[in-house]
Chain A
Amino acid sequence: EDQVTQSPEALRLQEGESSSLNCSYTVSGLRGLFWYRQDPGKGPEFLFTLYSAGEEKEKERLKATLTKKESFLHITAPKPEDSATYLCAVQAAGYGGATNKLIFGTGTLLAVQP
């Protein structure tokens, strides 16, 4: 069964304290891995798509990396406005053909204190 596990569940950082969030996945052929940011009561906001092992993407203080079994979201010198839940999702190639659905993890709740 396709599955996504994120860790830690919650992370509290001081402003400027860099860290990484983990997303490990089990999927029947990876079509794509997606990172989203979600603020309370809002929809997921797209951050990155990664398609193959070794790929990296960057945006401001965030950098996403991908291996064959997991992805990391590195946050460099975070600011309080980076506080949110970060969601990882995968799209599977599937045995019977590619699927368009995203399978989400439970997310990491990040709190950055000033």
Chain B
Amino acid sequence: EPEVTQTPSHQVTQMGQEVILRCVPISNHLYFYWYRQILGQKVEFLVSFYNNEISEKSEIFDDQFSVERPDGSNFTLKIRSTKLEDSAMYFCASSEAPGTSEFFGPGTRLTVL
């Protein structure tokens, strides 16, 4: 069964460093998303991406964040100048079309020290 994959599973970084989280969405899906979940809190939407551009972003997704689809399979989230409060699980998701089911990856646990 097709699934969303994410690497790495755990990333530890120093405050102020840049990190890139990687995702491979399900191959026939056209819409891609990043969400995050701070420990003990709700899953929060960060950004959606379609046709090589951002289609929607939340207030959390400021200039510190960027997304890219560098090739036909990968989808990345870059976090510049990481802060302690960026520590969270980051989930990638994909869907065939708007309004259809979003399938999530296993997540990357980001720890900022």
- A residues within 8 Å of B by Cβ? 31-32, 34, 36, 41-46, 49, 87, 89, 91, 98-107
Cβ–Cβ contact A34 & B101, under 8 A: yes
B76 within 8 A of A: no
19 A–B contacts, CB within 8 A, in A order: A31-B99, A32-B99, A32-B100, A42-B106, A43-B4, A43-B6, A46-B102, A46-B103, A49-B101, A87-B43, A91-B99, A98-B98, A100-B48, A100-B95, A101-B58, A102-B35, A102-B102, A103-B45, A107-B42
In the bound complex, residues from chain B placing their C-beta under 8 Å from that of A46 are 101-104
Q: Which residue of A lies closest to B49 (CB)?
A: A100
Residue of B nearest to A36 (CB): B104
- What is the 8 Å Cβ interface bit string for chain B, positions 73-113, against chain A (1 contact, 0 not)? 00000000000000001010001001111111111010000
Cβ of A32 to closest chain B Cβ, rounded Å: 5
Q: How many residue pairs, one in A and one in B, have C-beta atoms under 8 Å apart?
A: 61
Expressed in whole angstroms, the minimum distance between the Cβ of A26 and any Cβ of chain B is 15
* Residues of A with C-beta under 8 A to B99: 31-32, 91, 98, 100
Q: Is B14 an interface residue (CB 8 A)?
A: no
Which 6 pairs show the lowest CB-CB distances between chains A and B? A101-B45, A43-B104, A104-B43, A44-B104, A100-B48, A43-B106
Count of residues in B whose CB is under 8 Å from the partner chain: 29
Q: Which among A34, A44, A101 is the interface contact of B48 at CB below 8 angstroms?
A: A101
Query: B43 is contacted by which of A31, A44, A98 (Cβ under 8 Å)?
Result: A44
User: B residues within 8 A CB of A49?
Assistant: 100-101
Q: Which of A32, A36, A99 contacts B56 (CB 8 A)?
A: A99
Chain A residue at minimum C-beta to C-beta distance from B91 = A43
Residues of chain B lying within 8 A (CB to CB) of residue A36: 104
Whether A43 and B45, one on each chain, are in contact in the complex, defined by CB atoms closer than 8 angstroms, is no
Interchain CA distance A86-B98 in the complex, whole Å: 23
